[in-house]
Amino acid sequence: MKSTEAMDLRLKRVDMHDYFLNKIEESIHKQDYIAASWLIYSCFENRYFRTIEKLKSQCKYCRSKSKCNKGKKNELALITKIKCIQRLHGHSIECIRDAFRFDLFKETIDWVNERNSLMYDLLSLEYYENTDEKFKKSVIIGNKLLNETYESCTKFRELFYKEDYDFIFPEEAMEKCSCKPRK
């Protein structure tokens, strides 16, 4: 399969991601862990969205008018995106299975939940004064997971776009898609 994106667009994305990865490092260096946390979360959002974007055309529920198919918009919750890729990994889809470590999904979901909890705690004076160390620890873990996610996404693209590779979305995984209409 061949990438459908123009090379100049792909190069612009590389520059954009380098910019944000550098911003994360700068924020960590400045001990601005809340900013680093926002940036890490945003990069996770983008990485998982870009992965799903390559696969969703084969899901009968994502092809319809769903949250997953609103043009270039990124409307699915991050955990929903992660669970979609995790489901495909569980169905032993080669381009995902060989690119992502299975525990990466759970560890990232755990990080997202912890990070979100820390964000909500900022709204309480009781917790606000005690968040720096928690955010620092969270950012260190999140940044490590993000770096692994970037490596996994690169490997996924290499496998997905291999000349002789043909991705097939398993019916069983489609039936658990969050875009499937609820009765």
pLDDT at 142: 98
Q: Which one of 69-83, 145-159, 167-181 scores highest in mean pLDDT? A: 145-159
- Of the candidates 176, 131, 142, the one whose C-alpha atom is nearest the C-alpha of residue 45 is 142
Average pLDDT of the segment spanning 110-131: 83
pLDDT at 64: 62
Query: Is the Cβ–Cβ distance between 53 and 71 less than 8 Å?
Result: no
Average pLDDT of the segment spanning 138-166: 95
Q: Which two tokens stand for residue 39?
A: 């940036």
- Which of 20-24, 28-32, 102-106, 172-176 has the weakest average pLDDT? 172-176
* Mean pLDDT of all residues belonging to the chain: 86
pLDDT at 124: 74
Q: What angle do CA 44, 72, 25 make, to 5 degrees?
A: 25
Q: What is the DSSP letter of 4?
A: -
pLDDT digits (tens, 9 = 90+) for 163-173: 999 898 888 88
pLDDT at 30: 96
pLDDT digits (tens, 9 = 90+) for 67-101: 665 555 567 889 999 999 999 999 999 999 999 99
pLDDT digits (tens, 9 = 90+) for 39-57: 999 999 999 999 998 888 8
Query: What interhelical angle do 132-160 and 7-29 show, nearest 10?
Result: 160
Q: Which two tokens stand for residue 101?
A: 């470590």
The percent of residues above 90 in pLDDT, for the chain, comes to 55
pLDDT at 3: 61
pLDDT at 69: 59
pLDDT at 89: 95
Query: What interhelical angle do 132-160 and 102-121 show, nearest 10?
Result: 150
pTM for the model: 0.88
- Of the candidates 106, 102, 120, the one whose C-alpha atom is nearest the C-alpha of residue 34 is 120
Average pLDDT of the segment spanning 120-126: 77
DSSP string of 95-138, one letter each residue: HHHTTS-HHHHHHHHHHHHHHHHHHHHTT-HHHHTT-HHHHHHH
| Dihedral sign of CA atoms 9, 14, 20, 26 in order | negative
CA–CA separation, 156 and 161 (whole Å):
8
Burial class of 40 by CB neighbour count within 10 A (0 to 12, 13 to 18, 19+): buried
